A and B are shown apart, each in its own frame.
Chain A
Amino acid sequence: KNEVEQSPQNLTAQEGEFITINCSYSVGISALHWLQQHPGGGIVSLFMLSSGKKKHGRLIATINIQEKHSSLHITASHPRDSAVYICAALPTFMDSNYQLIWGAGTKLIIKP
């Protein structure tokens, strides 16, 4: 079992829909990252959070430390949001050496 699980693996929605992508983890963490990978392959960082909620434009990331769960929401989704969204957890255990544990990604397709 992976220490970081994302759901769903694939998500297809219509333009304008509210999107939720989930990330659950089984280890203690000091931070969780959300990243976006475009069809061209490049990966960019969206959020880093260790508690609460962060918002950037139409993207919102939340984290519940007690439940070991984070969500990425997209409001008013648009075809240009089509990408793979990846969460990565930074464990707290001492021998992690600050190395991230990566989820497998959620492939999002937004249809016009």
Chain B
Amino acid sequence: NAGVTQTPKFRILKIGQSMTLQCTQDMNHNYMYWYRQDPGMGLKLIYYSVGAGITDKGEVPNGYNVSRSTTEDFPLRLELAAPSQTSVYFCASSYSQGPNTEAFFGQGTRLTVV
């Protein structure tokens, strides 16, 4: 199993450009998440999904969109990149939710908006 795969690993965007961060998992997990990690801060949840066709906003959804057309894929879309979106982005998945659920993370995407 590859686990959770994120692409790309690095990207530089100009202000106003758009891009899609790809995330795919091969563990048949229902739950998928997008986080951003800023220096000195804990991970912040952007969006999450509890299954194909179902998505919901997390703590910091503004400026982002997601879709979940299949169980495996959960892409994150930035429509009009802004310098405030410079961050490291992590995709994660889990089989279920609750106290004893382990989450599996991708390797992260380092995005710089200039």
Give the interface centre of B41, B42, B106 by most chain A CB atoms within 10 Å. Answer: B42
Query: Is the C-beta of B58 less than 8 angstroms from some C-beta in chain A?
Result: yes
Cα(A50)–Cα(B100), bound, Å:
9
Judge whether B108 and A41 touch: CB under 8 Å: yes
Judge whether B100 and A48 touch: CB under 8 Å: yes
Could you mark each residue 66-100 of chain B with 1 if its beta carbon is under 8 Å from any beta carbon of chain A, else 0? 00000000000000000000001010100001111
- B98 contact from A2, A9, A98, Cβ within 8 A: A98
With an 8 Å Cβ cutoff, the count of chain B residues facing the other chain is 25
Where chain B touches its partner, the secondary structure class is loop
On whether A50 and B105 interact (CB within 8 A), knowing A101-B42, A104-B41, the answer reads no
B44: chain A residues within 8 A (beta carbon)? 102
Smallest CB separation, B104 vs chain A (Å): 8
Query: Is the C-beta of B55 less than 8 angstroms from some C-beta in chain A?
Result: no
On whether A50 and B102 interact (CB within 8 A), knowing A41-B108, A43-B90, A103-B42, the answer reads no
Cα(A98)–Cα(B110), bound, Å:
26
Q: Which of B23-45 contact A (CB under 8 A)?
A: 40-45
Interface of B toward A, CB cutoff 8 Å:
40-45, 48, 58-59, 88, 90, 92, 97-108, 110
